[in-house]
Structure 1
Amino acid sequence: MTTDPTIREQTYPYFLQEVPELLQVLEQGLLNLREDCTINQVNTLMRATHTLKGAATSVGLETITTIAHSLEDIFKALCRPDVTIDPDIAALLFEGFECLRLPLMVELTGISINDTEVLDRAAAVFAQLQEKLGDFFGQEAYLPSSIELGFDITQSIFEVGVAQRLDQIEVSIETAQPDELISTLRTQSEVFLGLAESLNLSGFGAIAKATIAALDNHPEQAIPIAQQALADFKAGQAAVLEGDRTQAGQPSETLQRWANLATDSPVTDVLTIDALANDFAIAIEPDETAGDRLLESIWGDQPSVTDAISESDLALIISDADTPVNAAEDIYVANQIPVSQASPTSTPTPIPTKEPISPSPSVRISVEHLDRLSHSIGELLTNQNQQSLQTEQLQASVRTLFTRLRQHQTLLNQLQEQQSRRSIAIESRSNPKRKRNTQNGHSKKRSVASSQASHSMQMLGFDALELERYSESDLFLQSLLDNVVQLTESTDAIELFTRQSAQTLEKQRRLLTGTQNALIEARMVPLGEIFDRFPHILQQLGTRHNKPVLLMLHGTEVLVDKAVAEKLYDPLLHLVRNAFDHGIEPIAVRQKRGKPEKGQIEICAHHQGRFLVIEVRDDGSGLDFERIRQQAVERQLISLEQAEQLTQAQLTDLLFEPGFSTAAQVNDLSGRGVGLDVVRNQIQSLHGFIEVSSELQRGTTFILQIPLSLTIAKLLICKATNTTHAMFADAIEQILIPQPDHIREQYGIKVFCWHRQFDEQIDEQLVPLYSLTKSLKYGSAHPPDPSSASKQESGQVIVFRYQGAFIGLEVDQLIGEQELVIRPLGTIIGSPDYVYGTSVLADGRLTLVIDPIALLQRLVNQQENESARSDRMTALPMLPASLQLQLPTQTYAALPAAPELELKANTDQKILIVDDSITVRQGLNLTLQKAGYHVIQAKDGHEAIEILHQQTDIRLIICDIEMPRVNGFELLRHCQRIPDLTTIPVLILTSRSSDKHRLLASQLGAAAYMTKPYLEHKLLTVVAEVLNVQLIAKT
């Protein structure tokens, strides 16, 4: 854990990013646990809890760390194959998850809770789980086989760790002094002895024991003993690599003689594995964490998980590999009878497993980037609408031009025909023997040409009817006709281009729509993803409390922003649990009241204008207002005189006061002081509000209204007098054109008779009617034209649904429905609450976007008796403004400041961080970057392997153990098998502090081992030392 507050502050946002995902994994895993209680399912829960614990530790959230640690211990007990999860255990697991979720929601939503109460509640739940699990709790969990582990860990250890130690013995035989050789051989033999016990390799352990005994008996024969022991160890290593998983060799007769052991002597006095952890080049002992101290306050004197060697830790670490690797035998716990005695070279039959579903690759992106993308799409949509309108106008103009050209061509044809008839008539009246008057020097060229043509035709023997004669006017008309034809062809080409342009725009529109839908999918989720989590929870509650409930869900397809959805789950869950506990009666009470035994809770969601409306209703006992009144007086919120004057609406408001509860006693659902005030605060944080309606013994309904941050919406464009307005199309029930005789006044209100078809029958309803022109009272630079209003006294009527009834809004003209971008007005100019923003129409004009529901609400409220309502309000007492719970202040001891390290510039040294927690990665990244290192991040071992093969200048790997796909042990094994990667040191940084993990990491080639939480200056010191060792080794 870093002590730098700046780094912790920068790491905290990443913690908030991964919390919702981890909570969802935990909740979904618990829901699937009863149907699929397999080792993989439990390991998924353990890994998510473990990651959450490490992330919380990194940012100093000790309450979350403590509860996550305890929940992880519970999951560890479930690894036993003979554990049965009955309904009681399943319900308690959900209660434990709820204890973890509450403090996490505090960080996500900013609500306030009492940490002590949460810890006490968690202690009670975990104590019940410990009692239910009995002997399974605290035991070493089931150790999976090599096939379940995904790779043969024994094979990997003997390929890498054992081979390296044998090389050290061989080098010592050739170069070291006898005393140094004895020390090296003894140390390595002790390590091999502990390793043999851990892996149940009796023969290899016998070789190690014989070697130690031989050195004790004949230290003067160190070199021949070392040579013989090396030969026996190598023979045992070869047997393991060939598939032996039971013996791994035997001590030779020569070695046994030196050791004074009989051939069949049993191996006794085995060293504990504690002695094996001291062989690291650099090792840091873990400090006692504040989470462990807080855990003791919950569990008392229970032994800590990290104090003992747990085989279940090994199972958790290496059970999530991608592809199973064939191994010769299973790995067994020490002193455990093997299930089968297969031959050393036999190949086990693979265990059929479910094909894992690989999640789609995903990246995190900030809401700000999505908002910018949404803004760009909005601008493109505005331009698209304008281009479409311009294309339509161009096509209309081209069609008009084409029509006029045809008309012009027709006129020219008629003129040409008249000219032809006129020429024929003139020619017929003229004298065919008339000579050309050559004396007239002032005659026009046209007459000369005509006379010459006529004379020529006469010489050929043709008259005017037999052969056309063309004058210059004829040629001019023909030229005009040719030009018109060419213009028509050009117009046809333009019309073709406009059609192609329209088709291109249509393709662009489809692409833009697809992009917009992709953005919606990226930031929106259907409410079904939230609602579908409630049936299992109610099923658990119903089973535990013997209160069956039917949950009905409506509007699961309604889309909502992901950020809003994450903040809606908690208040909705609270309302559902509240309906179950306070609303739904026990079976006996329901039978007495004539109700079905199974209660009913209904959740409905729909869009109403610019609001998302969610209703949570039940068919239970309803609100007991007298009980609320009595509780308010007993809690001294109000006096008895004030309580007697409160209306039902004001009594309902008391439910949202902090600490108020009508529960008679405290249980796991009620009476803890965490009431509806939390729900109201969470809804208000979304700028929404909550309403309550109730009827005694009929049920209660909570109505949540959350404003939507709409940027692009389908709007209905209409006109009132000379002004264009836009309304949300989703809020419209129907559009009508009523007959004049259907509109009349009744009780001083204008109504129209709506003949509505319902279930193949005509239902006649009187619908209140308001005029949009008269309803919108604001100044305009262009006064309305009274003549236009008088011409359309009875226009179209838009029908809306408002609070279960229908209301009509009369407009002058409907233009159509368009998908437009909505821009906020800002705060400089005050606008009515029914004005949502502005939009740019396709023709470039601005129009106001009106929320019709808000407008109708204002119109309805204006018709109420304001004076009577004000009189009632003045007679009512004032309620306390705020009754905040006083939460105890908890202080934490300051950690020692990190000393200033004299570090040289490390910008040329590249470090790879491998951890599945983004919070941990970012914390390490900031710490190392501050020290001058260049950092690369990988979310698991699989991604790290890809990076290592692409970038060859990495100097150090800092790696966690528990990660999906490829864990830390598998990454170590991969690095040792690739020659180019063997020189890169690996620093293991994990929360697993047991010696078993240290030994495995050491055998697989880890250069150093540290535990979380870490101190920043210690981490930097270890990193510097490891890099220095690497530098010395290279030189």
Structure 2
Amino acid sequence: MLAFDTEIRDQAYQFFIQEALEFLQTLETGLLTLRQERSIPLIHNLMRSAHSIKGGAASVGLSTIQHLAHQLENCIRALYDDSIPIDEPLEQLLLLAYDSLQRPLMAQIETGHHDEEAALLTMEPIYAQICDRLGDAMQTDQSIPSAAELGIDIVLAIFTGDVAAALTQLETLLQSPTDQHLTEQLQAQANLFINLGELVNLPGFAAIGRTIIQALQTNPHQALSIGQAALVNLQQAQTIVLAGDRVQGGSPSAALTQWLQPPAILAEAPRITAYPASESQDVQPQIFFGEFTEIGEDETVTEIEWADLEEMAESMTEEIDNSFIDINTVDSQRTQTKTIFQQETHGLNVKTELQTIFNKQHNEEHEVKSTENREEKHVEKREEQREEMVRVNLKRLDRMNNLMGEMVTQEHRSQINTHQLDTLIQTLAPRFTALEALTHRLDLWGDRTQIAQIKTLIPQSHGLDALQMDSYGDLHSNLQALMELSHQISEGLRDMSLISQQFRQVQREKQQSLKRVREDLLWARMLPIGDILQRFPRMVRDLSLQYGKQAQLKIIGSQVLVDKAVLQNLYDPLVHLLRNAIAHGVERPSDRTTKAPIATIEIRAYHRGNRTFIEIKDDGRGIDRDRIAARARDLGLIPPHQTPTQSQLYNYLFTPGFSTQQQVSDLAGRGVGLDVVARELAQLKGQITLQSEPGIGTQFTLSLPLTLTVAHLLVFRLKKRQWAIALDSLDTVITAKPTDITETSGQLYYHQDDKTIPISQRLGSTTIPPEGLTLLLVADSTLAIPVDQVLQEQELAIKPFGNTLIPPSYLYGCTLLGDGTLVPVIDALALPTTLDISPIPDLPEPEPTTTTLMVVDDSMTTRHSLTHSLKRAGYEVIQAGNGQEALDCLAQSPEIRMVFCDVEMPIMNGYEFLTQCRKKYDRTKLPIVMLTSRGGEKHRQIAQHLGANSYLTKPYLEPEVFSTVRSLIEDN
């Protein structure tokens, strides 16, 4: 067990729960499709899911869950044997084994405990039946897919990796040879190339190595010339292999084979010169690794004196062996699993094994391509669904939504203030124009007065005209000051008008930004509807088998996003509709004479406007309207002489207790179903419609609002009060003539064509004015709401009333207008229902940390547990789910000083990540610690060979982890 304190164990348990739910769904979906789409990648994915549950359960101390997952993993592993047919009985046993794991695990998740003894007893007979059915496949380790099945080109991996490195070393050796050991060194290199050629079944490449040795034995004093000819020959062979040759791998060249002649004959023969091969090949070494199991001793290269080459040859042989080992993870401590390679054996005949694999690859090329195509589709599908995600508490999103609603309200208030400012400027403009005219007249009057005063003050004897003599008094000075001030005010008013225009432009841009933020926030709180739809294929399959029917479920639009609050309440209505389709819609195969024997039930989800639509359609018998009418008459719902319309008949199906089933069963006939669906949808502000055609099928369509926070509202006045109603809940606004309105027993009705629509008076008593009554017709024209005046249409935030106020059942919440008026919002589609809203708590902020480390692991449980431990020790931690993500994090976060990395991960495993990292960072600049469940010496040697600083095994101990961090960072 991990050395967790209570807090860390709680964190690990929460992460395990989150992961387990995803892995359970992967298992169920994969097992349901395995019979139709059997493939190595699919079995591999199932294996990974079962193994991850097993490992996660072990990390949090759920030993029973661990054991059950281990047994399911064994069952799935046996399916690698393609001689075992996956028929319906085996599929049923595998699903029962899955149920035996799923039920106690869900009980643990939901209640915090599970019945361990009952879980083990449930699995025991199922596991025994599977073992009997699979026979020897359960006793043999079937977890070794071939390279072709996994789409791995081992030859390409070796020739772009180890062969390229060996050729570079040979070239370096020939550039500065030492006569004393050159022959021995060339022989060591030749032995290495012979081993590689035999390992990958390329006889031509191995022949070049043998020719080198023979040439050295024949002409030991010509080692340098032989080495140069060999280098050119090997480079040419490498080029041929990289171009696609997987059969021969080149052949000894004439320049090399000439050295097979004895010295006397060679002296008489013309010398053939070897020219260097093109150095255009710029292939980076890469080693492909998957997941591994423990194996016994494997073949080693011939012992030679040059220690470095011996170590390289040994490491390469080990890497080749491991490349064909089980891609699926296996618990190294498990004693029951029998390995393919036992320690008692006399060694692995790698050459024979590779010969078989590559012969199969060439003889069945079309099958390999088909398998690779299927794998690509699986990888494509996973990559489409794999996006960079961050977990955010839903309550925090709710609070952000509320704050966004506040910002919308504040923006509307800002709009009102801007409009008031514009109105004020527009009002001031003509007034100031009048002021300017008055100022101009005063200025003219002042000039005339000034001239008159000058005439009286200047004697005629001076001989000057009054216009030729300026004289300024107080009046003139004040008028000039008034004119100047008027001009300045005029300029200021024009500036205000220009600023107001600019402000309106900024406000429009801010509104667009606010709208985009609101939309992003809206989608951030949404989840794929597939999270609940993916539970139904199993249910449809089991119910169909149980009741002797054949039906398949088709799901379209599983990635359509739905508000999580809505999604959580959609499950029960959809279950009712699916059970209803199997009970009433789908016929038995013997009755589907003109149709496909297997019925199809289709669930389609899509967005239209600001609503989400979910269609549930079957190709069954349709709805028997006569039968509904007869049952409705029996219940007294239809008067004796009345003929109901088709719409009215369908509405009877949503009456509580209504059922056309004569006999009560587990599936139908209890009178509980469609009324529950309608009631629960009404609570979600949604609605349901029904279409059916006898003999063709039935379709239910659910319509739900996209969000329950911000909506387009129509604000109106009735009886001196303001009300608001969602626009998408309305059909139209009309003015009804007094002649179209009747009253029966105090209830008003509006008659439109052949429809009789009740007029709601819940908002107050209604009188009919002579000019007519304005009505809001609710969607589908099921209700009319009277209106005195329509005020505005605007997108507004809807706020709940809170717990201190118990609102009427027909009110959804309230909204705040820009002028500060609080307006109730009517729930038109659920007038007889209520809506409960819960408070929103806060979420604590994370604590600051210092030195940055990175944890790379595809297991969320392990990743977050180690992260939490490191954070508590004062480190800042960056997480990555696979090697490729880790490389991206290193590129974006140069502050990372150390890495903990798992070995077995999707997309890019730990060894591949280690290989890529060591091209850019040496051991001192970026220490990398491998942390894996693989404790074998072989895996440790591979990690050290590739450049790992340290190697730790799971389950880890915190003191060991902290000690490793301190020592490596201090060394760094």
Q: State TM-score, norm by structure 1.
A: 0.57
Per the alignment, residue 969 of structure 1 pairs with: 911
Partner of 1:15: 16
Counterpart mapping for 1:259-338 below 5 A:
273-274=295-296, 304-305=336-337, 307=339, 333=353, 336=356, 338=358
Report the CA distance between 1:842 and its aligned residue: 0.6
Counterparts of 1:482-497 in structure 2, within 5 Å, are 487-497=489-499
Q: Which residue of 2 aligns with 1:366?
A: 393
Any residues of structure 2 matched to 1:606-685 within 5 Å, and which? 661=666
- Is 1:800 aligned with 2:778? yes
Shift in CA distance, 811/953, structure 1 to aligned 2, threshold 3 Å? closer
> Residues 677-756 of structure 1 correspond to what in structure 2 (within 5 A)?
710-754=708-752
User: Residue 45 and residue 978 in structure 1: after superposition, are their counterparts in 2 closer, same or farther (change >3 A)?
Assistant: same
The Cα of 1:56 is off from its aligned counterpart by 3.7
Task: State the Cα distance separating 1:843 from its structure 2 match.
Answer: 0.8
Task: Name 1:767's counterpart in structure 2.
Answer: 757
Q: 1:543 to 1:559 in 2, by over 3 A?
A: same
Partner of 1:815, secondary structure, is strand
Matches of 2:505 and 2:60, distance apart in 1: 56
**C-alpha displacement at 1:808, in angstroms?**
0.3
What's 1:547 paired with? 550
C-alpha separation in 2, matches of 1:752 and 1:944: 67
* Secondary structure at 2:713 match in 1: strand
Instruction: Write out aligned runs for 1:129-528 (5 A).
Output: 130=134, 138=142, 140-144=144-148, 147-148=152-153, 152=157, 273-274=295-296, 304-305=336-337, 307=339, 333=353, 336=356, 338-339=358-359, 359-406=386-433, 447-449=452-454, 487-525=489-527, 527=529
8 Å Cα contact 1:90-1:540 kept in structure 2:
no
SS of the residue corresponding to residue 831 of structure 1 reads coil
CA contact (8 A) 1:199 1:333 kept: no
Q: How far apart, in 1, do the equivalents of 2:741 and 2:458 lie?
A: 81
The answer to which of 739-748 and 59-68 deviates more is 59-68
Change (3 A) 1:994 1:552: closer
Report which stretch shifted further, 35-44 or 686-695: 686-695
1:921 corresponds to 2:863:
yes
Give the 3 Å change call, closer, same or farther, for CA 852–578 of structure 1 in structure 2: closer
> Residues of 2 paired with 1:474 and 1:588: CA distance?
112
Tell me how far 1:391 sits from its aligned partner: 0.9
Partner of 1:960: 902
What is the distance in 2 between the residues matched to 1:999 and 1:447?
116
The unaligned stretches of length 5 or more in structure 1 are 164-193, 206-234, 248-271, 280-290, 297-302, 311-329, 343-348, 424-443, 463-469, 626-646, 665-674, 755-762, 777-788, 859-906
Distance 2:484 2:701 in 1: 75
Aligned to 1:670: none
Q: How many Å separate the matches in 2 of 1:9 and 1:773?
A: 52
Change (3 A) 1:96 1:119: closer
RMSD: 7.0
Distance in 1 of aligned mates of 2:875 and 2:558: 49
Q: Deviations over 1:774-809 (max 9, x none)?
A: 179xxxxxxxxxxxx9989954211113xx651101
- SS at 1:383's partner residue? helix
Distance 2:921 2:555 in 1: 61
Q: Do 1:941 and 1:963's aligned partners in 2 also have CA atoms closer than 8 Å?
A: yes
> What do the CA deviations read for 1:505-525 (whole angstroms, capped 9, x no partner)?
000000111111111222225
Q: What CA distance in whole angstroms lies between the structure 1 residues aligned with 2:823 and 2:602?
A: 39
In 2, Cα distance between the equivalents of 1:332 and 1:683? 66
- Alpha-carbon distance in structure 2 between the residues aligned to 1:558 and 1:949: 33
How far off is 1:850 after superposition? Answer: 2.5
| Paired residue secondary structure (1:492) | helix
- TM-score where L is the length of structure 2: 0.60
Structure 2 residue corresponding to 1:853, chosen from 800, 823, 829: 829
Deviations 1:819-871 (A, max 9, x none): 2222222212322233333322111222222322333569xxxxxxxxxxxxx
Distance of aligned partners of 1:943 and 1:548 in 2 relative to their CA distance in 1, 3 Å threshold: closer
- Distance of 1:135 and 1:242 partners within structure 2: 43
- The aligned residue for residue 811 of structure 2 is 835
- Unaligned runs of at least 5 residues, structure 2: 169-194, 207-229, 250-293, 300-310, 312-328, 343-349, 363-368, 629-652, 835-848
> In 2, distance between residues paired with 1:129 and 1:1022?
46
Assess if the C-alpha contact under 8 Å between 1:772 and 1:809 holds in 2. Answer: no
In the TM superposition, residue 721 of structure 1 has moved relative to its aligned partner by 2.1
Distance 1:1025 1:579, change over 3 A: same
CA distance in 2, matches of 1:90, 1:383: 59
Cα distance in 2 between the residues matched to 1:959 and 1:24: 27
Once the two structures are TM-superposed, the CA of residue 152 in structure 1 deviates from its matched residue by: 2.9
Give the residue type in structure 2 aligned to 1:499. Q
Q: How many Å separate the matches in 2 of 1:524 and 1:813?
A: 37
Contact map agreement 2:140 2:338 (CA 8 A) in 1:
no
Between stretches 987-996 and 8-17, larger displacement belongs to: 987-996
Does the CA contact (< 8 Å) of 1:916 and 1:964 recur in 2? yes
Identical aligned residues as a percent: 30
- How far off its partner does 1:448 sit? 3.2
- Amino acid across the alignment from 2:867: N
Partner Cα distance (2:731, 2:825) in 1: 18
| Alpha-carbon offset, residue 737 of structure 1 | 1.9
After superposition, the Cα gap between the structure-2 partners of 1:26 and 1:849, relative to the gap in structure 1 and judged at 3 Å, is same
Deviation at 1:388, TM superposition (A): 0.9
- Distance in 2, Cα, partners of 1:375 & 1:522: 14
Q: Per the alignment, in what secondary structure is the counterpart of residue 359 of structure 2?
A: coil
Tell me which amino acid in the other structure corresponds to 1:364: R
Aligned to 2:639: none
Provide closer, same or farther for how the CA distance between residues 707 and 91 of structure 1 changes in structure 2, counting only shifts above 3 A.
farther
Q: Which amino acid aligns with 2:775?
A: V
Q: Which residue of 2 aligns with 1:59?
A: 60
Deviation by residue 1:332-379 (Cα, 9 ceiling, x = unmatched): 84684653999xxxxxx9x99789657543333332442343233223
Tell me how many residue pairs correspond in the alignment. Answer: 776
Contact 1:26 1:45 in 2 (8 A): yes
8 Å Cα contact 1:199-1:332 kept in structure 2: no
Distance 2:521 2:809 in 1: 29
- Give the deviation of 1:1025 after TM superposition: 7.7
Q: Which has the higher contact order (CA 8 A, sep 6+)?
A: 1
Counterpart amino acid of 1:585?
E
The structure whose Rg is larger is 1
CA distance in 1, matches of 2:64, 2:704: 31
SS of 1:922's equivalent? Answer: helix
Q: State the Cα distance separating 1:387 from its structure 2 match.
A: 0.8
Alpha carbons of structure 1 residues 274 and 376: separation in structure 2 relative to 1, 3 Å: same
What is the distance in 2 between the residues matched to 1:706 and 1:306? 55
The residue type paired with residue 815 of structure 1 is: L
What SS is found at the alignment partner of 2:907? coil
- Residues 955 and 1027, structure 1, Cα contact 8 Å, conserved in 2: no
2:141–2:337: 8 Å Cα contact kept in structure 1? no
Name which of structure 1's ranges 704-713 and 451-460 shifts more when overlaid on structure 2: 451-460
Partner amino acid, structure 2, of 1:959 = C
Q: Residues 537, 970 of structure 1: CA spacing in aligned structure 2 closer, same or farther, 3 A cutoff?
A: farther
For 1:975-994, what aligned pairs fall within 5 Å after superposition?
A: 980-981=922-923, 988-992=930-934
Deviates more, 1:922-931 or 1:376-385: 922-931
